Amino acid sequence: LPPPPPPDSAAVVPSGETSPQTTDGTAPSVPAVPIDFDGASRVTGQESQILEVRLEPGNVLRAESGAMLYMTTGVTMNATLAEGGLSGGFKRVLTGQNLFLADYGYEGREGTSGTVALGTDFPSKIVRLNLEEYGGKVVCQKGAYLAGSHTVDIEMEFAKKFTAGFFGGEGFVLQALTGE
């Protein structure tokens, strides 16, 4: 990946906020630094696309477990339960996702980076969405989420109308993506 353009200013998570806890109950000691997806990611491929994300120290990429195709040296992966613990994990299962999410980070020296590539196990197109452009929330079909910032929450949403759920082809249980 080409290096991203220099940021106008460094953006960090509010003081004291760290990336999510891992399944062993530990949390990284470094505050999570937001990923500039415009400069640090690219989508390649025609019929079945791949998302490559360049991670710098402090970045945390949250992805659907099982989506990783490859990662370079220095990139680490931690399995995490969804927000809300075990009950949140079961809600994720109802929305077509896995019980666990994968958090990817890079543990290299400052000024270096690592790459993680993600994809699906079926032919697909990857669409980038900035949730802020949609009022902080997008409702999509179950199983549509691939990856994003660690601040994105995946929640269960039900079809508002019986006819939409029954005849709409997406079912009654949908995914609601909220956050930044």
Q: State if pTM tops 0.85.
A: no
pLDDT at residue 53 in the model? 98
41-67: pLDDT as tens digits = 999 999 899 999 999 999 999 998 899
Q: Any residues with CB less than 8 A from the CB of 163 and at least 6 apart, and which?
A: none
- Domain 37-178: state its class: alpha beta
State how far the alpha carbon of 160 is from the alpha carbons of 1, 35, 118, in Å.
42, 34, 32
For residue range 81-140, list pLDDT tens digits in order: 766 667 766 766 766 667 788 999 999 999 999 999 999 988 889 999 999 999 999 998
